C-alpha cells in the first residue's frame, strides 16, 4: 500500500500525491493512502464513502468550515512522474488540484486545535460526468456531513479568492430537412444549410457582463459541436448544433433555459447537460472574514466548480488554492512552489486559535 507522510512540507506532499496516478475512476490507491494517513490522527473522525474520504474535527466550536478537494485527474498525457525545478512542480494534477489537496492534508494533520471546527472532504470523479462526482454522491447520501457555515474548495485560483461560479448549460439545436441525391439538390432540403441561421445568431450574440457583489462576470454562448450528414452524395435531413451557455450567478437554471428559448426562438432544441451557478456570497460574515484574512483580493470564477454544490446546500463557498486555473488539464501543467507555501500559510494563520 502506498504510504503518505503528512509531516513533510506541502511541496513534497504535493509531489508525493502527483506520483500516485489517480485518473477519474481509478482513485482507490490515493483514497486508501489518504484514509490511512488521516485515520492515524486521534483528533479526526474519519469516514470513507467509496473513494471519498471525510475527516472531521469535533472541538465544539460555533462555526464549522468545509475544506474540500478532488483526488482525481484527467487522463495521463506523458506527464508523470512529477518533476520539480527551483520554482515549479510539474506533472499531471499538480495544478488541478493536488497542490490544494496537499495543503488541506497538511492542515488536517498538523492543526489539531483550530478556531473553527473543520470538515475535510477528499473526493473522487470530479473530472467526469456529474452523476459520478463523489461530492455530489455524498451530498445525496449524507448531506449532514456537508453542513457548515462556509466552504473552501481548494481549486487552483492563483492563490487568490475566486468567488462563486458561472452555471453551464448545453443545448442541442436541431434543424431538419429532406434527403435527396446531391446531384438533384432541388428535390430536397439541406438541414446543414438550415443551421446557418443558428450560427448567425451565435455570431451576433452579445454576452452579458453583470456585476455581482462588485465582481464582473462574463457570460458566453458558443457552438461546441456540429453534427450532420448521411453520405457523400446525399443531402442531410438533420443537423445538430450543440451550444454551451455559461451563465452568470444571477441566473438560475430555469432562467438560463428561458433565455435559450429566446435566443433560439423558432428552432427545436433539447437540453443535454446543465449545472447551476453559485452566487459569490461575499456578504456572509464567514466569507467576508476569510477574504480579509487571505489578503482581500477577489476575482470572479468564470468556469464551473463544485462551489455550486455547496450553494445548493445553502453553504456559501469560494475557490482558493495554488496554481493557475488556465493550466488545468494541459500536458505542461505545473504549480508554483511559492503558491503552495503561500496558500498554506494564509489558511494556517486564518485557523490559528488566537485568530477570530
Q: Looking at the annotation, which residues are catalytic?
A: 72, 126
d(CA 283, CA 313): 17
Which helix (H) or strand (E) segment holds residue 136: the answer is helix 134-141
91: how many CB neighbours lie within 10 A of its CB?
24
d(CA 17, CA 81): 10
3-state class of 291 per DSSP?
helix
Residue 327: which of 121, 101, 95, 119 has the closest Cα?
95
DSSP letter for 234, please: B
Question: What does the block give as the cell for 10?
Answer: 506541502
User: Do 75 and 8 contact (CB within 8 A), yes or no?
Assistant: no
Vertex 65: Cα angle to 64 and 67 (nearest 5)? 150
3-state class of 148 per DSSP?
coil
SS3 content of the chain, % helix, strand, coil (to 5): 35, 25, 40
> CA 87, 93, 97, 100 torsion: positive or negative?
negative
Residues with Cβ within 8 Å of 320's Cβ and at least 6 positions away in sequence, in order, are 152, 153, 154, 155, 157, 160, 161, 162, 290, 294, 343, 347
Residue 123: which of 141, 111, 144, 137 has the closest Cα?
137
Q: What is the largest CA-CA distance in the chain?
A: 82
Question: What does the block give as the cell for 333?
Answer: 501543467
Amino acid at each position: 500500500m502506498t504510504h503518505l507522510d503528512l509531516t513533510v512540507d506541502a511541496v513534497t506532499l504535493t509531489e508525493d500525491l502527483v506520483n500516485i496516478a489517480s485518473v477519474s475512476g481509478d482513485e482507490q490507491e490515493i483514497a486508501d493512502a489518504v484514509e490511512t494517513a488521516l485515520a492515524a490522527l486521534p483528533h479526526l473522525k474519519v469516514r470513507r464513502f467509496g473513494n471519498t474520504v471525510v475527516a472531521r474535527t469535533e472541538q465544539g466550536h460555533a462555526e464549522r468550515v468545509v475544506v474540500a478537494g478532488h483526488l482525481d485527474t484527467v487522463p495521463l498525457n506523458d506527464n508523470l512522474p512529477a518533476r520539480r525545478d527551483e520554482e515549479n512542480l510539474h506533472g499531471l494534477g499538480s495544478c488541478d488540484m493536488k497542490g490544494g489537496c496537499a495543503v488541506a492534508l497538511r492542515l488536517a494533520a498538523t492543526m489539531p486545535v483550530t478556531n473553527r471546527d473543520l470538515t475535510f472532504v477528499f473526493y473522487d470523479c470530479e473530472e467526469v460526468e456529474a452523476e459520478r462526482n463523489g461530492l455530489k454522491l455524498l451530498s445525496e447520501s449524507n448531506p449532514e456531513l456537508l453542513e457548515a457555515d462556509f466552504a473552501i474548495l481548494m481549486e487552483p485560483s492563483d492563490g487568490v479568492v475566486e468567488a462563486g461560479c458561472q452555471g453551464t448549460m448545453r443545448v442541442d439545436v436541431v434543424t431538419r430537412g429532406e434527403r435527396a441525391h446531391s446531384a438533384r439538390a432541388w428535390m430536397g432540403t439541406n438541414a446543414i444549410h438550415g443551421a446557418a441561421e443558428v450560427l448567425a445568431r451565435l455570431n451576433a450574440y452579445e454576452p452579458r457582463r453583470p456585476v455581482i457583489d462588485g465582481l464582473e462576470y462574463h457570460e458566453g454562448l458558443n457552438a461546441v459541436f456540429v453534427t450532420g450528414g448521411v453520405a457523400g452524395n446525399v443531402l442531410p435531413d438533420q443537423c445538430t448544433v450543440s451550444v454551451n451557455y455559461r451563465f452568470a450567478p444571477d441566473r438560475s437554471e430555469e432562467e438560463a433555459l428561458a433565455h435559450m428559448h429566446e435566443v433560439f426562438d423558432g428552432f427545436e432544441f433539447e437540453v443535454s447537460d446543465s449545472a447551476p451557478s453559485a452566487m459569490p456570497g461575499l456578504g456572509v460574515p464567514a466569507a467576508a472574514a476569510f477574504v480579509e484574512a487571505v489578503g482581500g483580493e477577489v476575482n470572479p470564477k468564470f468556469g464551473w466548480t463544485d462551489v455550486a454544490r455547496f450553494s445548493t446546500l445553502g453553504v456559501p463557498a469560494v475557490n482558493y488554492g495554488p496554481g493557475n486555473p488556465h493550466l488545468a488539464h494541459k500536458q505542461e501543467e505545473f504549480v508554483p512552489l511559492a503558491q503552495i507555501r503561500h496558500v498554506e500559510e494564509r489558511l494556517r494563520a486564518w485557523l490559528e486559535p488566537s485568530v477570530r
